[in-house]
Amino acid sequence: MFLMSHKIKSLGVKMVISGEGSDELFGGYLYFHKAPNKEELHRETCRKYDCLRANKATPAWGLEARVPFLDKEFINAAMNIDPEWKMVQPDLGRIEKWVLRKAFDDEEQPFLPKHILYRQKGRFSDGVVYSWIDGLKAHAASNVTNKMLSNAKFIFPHNTPTTKEAYYYRMVFERFFPQKYAILTVPGGPSVACSTTKAIEWDAYNRVL
């Protein structure tokens, strides 16, 4: 988003509309497919707060991002929807964010083509295609030695990176934000696609089923 904001600003654009918040409100991330029940799904959506990225990345280049899904009245409405409607249920044809997609499914005046309206959620990072992701991992592996990774707990005692890719990103972060308190603003710990630690248990639950 940081690089994209730079590019957008260079084109003379001053303001953009961003969809930040919809995944958090409607259980849009793919790991929500494994939510064991609607109560767990709802609790996980209450824990989500990964919106600082847009608040920092866009104004860094003088670009204003407006986030309609984070309007307080909309949030209140979305969080009062029965979470059963947010559950992924393939047997009923319900994919992630189904209730939101359905709200835009108007046969008489379609807002979006069906193939876009009902396409599977794609991670922001995957928008650069998988070959780029593999390239980033290879680049990290060539710049972080096994010894560096084994000593990570001494170099980065807080939220210690456990992979070479994470170690490399941490080096980049520390270069741009050397202040000791900066890393405290970034959530850490085990995660699946930015999930809370609690959601990792869903994998075990589904294996039992």
pLDDT digits (tens, 9 = 90+) for 46-100: 876 666 778 888 999 999 999 999 999 999 999 999 999 999 999 998 999 999 9
CA atoms within 13 A on the CB side of 172: 11
Question: Which CATH architecture fits 1-123?
Answer: 3-Layer(aba) Sandwich (3.40)
The segment(s) of the chain belonging to CATH 3.40.50.620 are 1-123
Instruction: Look at residues 177, 144, 138, 180 and name the one whose alpha carbon lies nearest to residue 161.
Output: 144
Strand 64-66 and strand 15-17: the pairing is parallel
Sign of torsion over alpha carbons 14, 10, 132, 2: negative
Share of the chain above pLDDT 70, in %: 88
Kindly report the pTM of this predicted structure: 0.73
Out of 27-31, 52-56, 180-184, least confident range: 52-56
**CA 14 – CA 181 distance, rounded (Å):** 31
pLDDT value at 125 more than 60: no
Q: Which residues pair with 65 in a beta bridge?
A: 16
Confidence of residue 209 (pLDDT cuts 50, 70, 90): very low
Q: What is the pLDDT of residue 129?
A: 57
pLDDT for position 53: 79
pLDDT at 59: 93
Answer with the residue of higher pLDDT: 121 or 119.
119
